[in-house]
Amino acid sequence: MDQRTDARTRAINVGQPDRLHVGPFPWWMRGGHLETILASALPLPLPPLRSERRLVEVEPGTAVETFWSAPETPRGGSLLVVHGLGGSAERPHVRAMADEALRRGWHAVRVNLRNHGGTEALASTLFSAVQSDDLGTVLEAMEEAALPRPYVLVGGSLGANMALRYAALAGTSSRADAVFAMNPAIDFFVIEREIHRPSNFVYRLNFVLGLCNMLNAIRAVRPVPGPPANVRYVQSIRDFDSYFTAPAAGFANADAYYEAAGTRAALDWLRVPAFILTARNDPFIPASLIAAHHGAAEGRVRVAVADRGGHVGYRVRGADGQPRFWAAKPALDWIEATFPAAGSSGR
């Protein structure tokens, strides 16, 4: 039995979700909103990532952009790090995950999902959350390039949902050996309800503007049917998905798309270990939604609820006084504990 098979059979999580303490936070960053918005807007002092850019064809006429980084002293496996809706391979939390992996001797591959990160010209289709098989195709490219195993999918927000969705639907054929998912958007209906609360207006507006800008950038490359992409016509994420995402992905309406894209009902199909991290003060993904799945998939799913962190924020003050992305450490700690034979940095 190799270490990947062993990890799949011994990952048993029962009882209540873990409770994790995040800190110390800067004194001026208090509450889920600030912890979400400022962590996303402010840079992290990370070293440059030396990467090789590779295009991976995911279907005829469509490729995704990837960035491959190798550690100075390889002693682990490989991570595929996935951003969220409107993000890119350059987002602070994506770079922080890759940096932590490299420092521990793991390879790191970052991906720009379809239409993200300025890649509108690479895709003949619109992005949708049901394109989780794209991650499997990138993992296949990693196999062909002989990157060391195990392979761990690491995602945040919508990217975390896609990572879980890929592994769950692939079942025993999953090319990913484990999944680490931060604040995963596993139920689009619940998130739609939460993001339409008056207190979450800024997130709704940010997503709508970002999606409209993405659509207009695509229209600069090729025609896309539908109304003008601006806030006069598109006033919610559902509007955007109804006009553009759902029909482009072959769904009759947004409800059908949301039902297919969310992973909530499919988590029990996972056949690889998964660690799902969320925050108690996430503004639009309720911690209770995530916590209910601790022990799913015959104990393969571990859930941890952090006492703070917002939505994929987790920006703390390091011992040197510099900001850092807190979630990178528990992610790599769990990965190294799950695959001890892959080597450990001793950190």
- Our CA dihedral for 179, 110, 87, 34, rounded to 10 degrees, sits at 70
Judge contact between 316 and 25, C-beta under 8 A: yes
* Structure tokens belonging to residue 202: 């800024």
Check: CB of residue 150 under 8 Å from CB of residue 69: no
Residues in the chain: 347
User: At residue 200, does pLDDT exceed 70?
Assistant: yes
How far apart, in whole angstroms, are the C-alpha atoms of residue 282 and residue 307? 10
Alpha-carbon 264 to chain mean position: 15
Q: For 334-340, which contacts have Cβ atoms below 8 Å and span 24 or more sequence positions?
A: 334/180, 334/275, 334/302, 335/79, 335/106, 335/152, 335/178, 335/180, 336/76, 336/104, 338/7, 338/11, 338/178, 338/273, 339/3, 339/4, 339/7, 339/76, 339/77, 339/150, 339/177, 339/178, 340/3
Q: How far apart are CA 132 and CA 117, in angstroms?
A: 17
Residue 205 has a pLDDT of 96
Q: Looking at residue 288, what is its pLDDT?
A: 97
Read off the tokens for 152: 């761990």
Output the pLDDT for position 304.
98
Q: Residue 134, class by beta-carbon neighbours within 10 Å (0-12 exposed, 13-18 middle, 19+ buried)?
A: buried
At 75-132, the pLDDT tens digits run: 999 999 999 999 999 999 999 999 999 999 999 999 999 999 999 999 999 999 999 9
User: Residue 344 above 60 pLDDT?
Assistant: no
Write out pLDDT tens, residues 231-256: 999 999 999 999 999 999 999 999 99
Distance in angstroms (rounded) separating the CA atoms of residues 234 and 297: 38
Domains of the chain: 3-187+267-340 (3.40.50.1820), 188-261 (no CATH)
Give, to the nearest 10 degrees, the angle between helix 92-103 and helix 32-41.
80
Task: Give the pLDDT score at 247.
Answer: 98
For residue 27, the model assigns a pLDDT of 78
Q: What is the DSSP string of 172-195?
A: GG-S-SEEEEES----HHHHHHHH
Q: Is 304 helix (H, G, I), strand (E, B) or coil?
A: strand
* pLDDT-derived band at 341, boundaries 50, 70, 90: confident
Residue 23 CB neighbours (<10 A): 11
Of the candidates 3, 272, 273, 51, which has an alpha carbon nearest to the alpha carbon of residue 150? 3
Is the pLDDT assigned to residue 10 strictly greater than 70? no
In three-state secondary structure terms, 278 is: strand
Q: Give the separation between CA 9 and CA 18, rounded to whole angstroms.
A: 21
